[in-house]
Structure 1
Amino acid sequence: MSENVEHLETGPAWASALGVVAIVLGVLLVAAHGNEWVTQYTIPAVGDTVSEMPPADCPQDELEEEGLTVAQCEQMVSNLQSIRVSRPDWFRSSQLVMSAVGTGLAFASILVGAALVNYRRWAAGAAVVVFGALAAVDVITFVTAVQTGPILRAMYLWDALLWFCLHLMMMLGAVVGAQHEKTA
């Protein structure tokens, strides 16, 4: 065998478990932030276009293809109008920035998760930093949503709280794991 081949250590079970969770949740978080980007770019700001959106355009063939009724199509347009009108001017840019930062950190959590699964000693410390930064993004998103109206709060608060709890638990798991590594 070549001398340049790095030998992998068998890592502790906590590292593998945390790594798998980090990879799965990282992929889900990348998708969630991608959806947020699409939402913020798709729904224009009130000042960007005329204040009234055109009436719902619901071609019958598309409704049948999607399994929707005309009333459901009109409701979706109404929901978009409600979001657009209730969104403060600063909210769109704030969400775009948080989504960009969150996406980068989510990709980092996938990489850290892979390093935990394949057990690299540095991965526990990196996980603390990445999961802590993700928890900070969640707190900022939560605080931002609190400053909006009831429609946006209903859309964003629970998701931000859920992600915060997940990232906090993952960070604490990485802290305990890193401390265990130092004492071992």
Structure 2
Amino acid sequence: MKTYRLSPPARRSAIVLLIGALMVWVFALWTLRISVATSSDPSAGFVQALRENLERGMTIGQIIPALLMVVLLVAAPLVAWNILEELGAQYTLTDAGLRFTSFGVALTCPWSSVVGVRRRDDDADEPLDEVALSDDPSSQIRNPLVRWLHRQACGARCLIIYSGVEDRDDLLREICAHAGLNDAQPALSGV
């Protein structure tokens, strides 16, 4: 059984992206605090300053940045999770099926459930393929939060084959061979 992982350059890139996502989150948190909790009293705490702003009414110059920062505060952790899942991604071909593991995720997709392999975005700079499945393997994830996050990253009935995986083309060919798929599919042309 061969295990396929991200290449060292792809892991380094993922780590840099993860640091960037965390920096965006910290920036959003700091900017939100400045936007909604400024007070004429420099010794006022966050809650007191927020209360003062709400009582006197917030200006449009406070509301718009605050809303943008709230969006970033929600989106940055989701992006960070997607990067973490990619960073820890491992694919193992077994007799039972394709095994995918990452941080908090351990899935086995039986070969009978693999219905195709397709390119996710033909216009992307780096190829990102997905294994289409007939059922949702995320039900194998016990933690409901991790299950939800995985579904947000991959979708319910597919498994992403990340572009930075070493010997990716070999992995895609092996998946097609084990699942009995015709590897002349459009997504695999040139593989």
TM-score by length of 2: 0.37
Greater fraction strand:
2
Higher relative contact order (CA 8 A, sep 6+): 1
TM-score under structure 1 normalisation? 0.38
Q: Which has the higher helix share?
A: 1
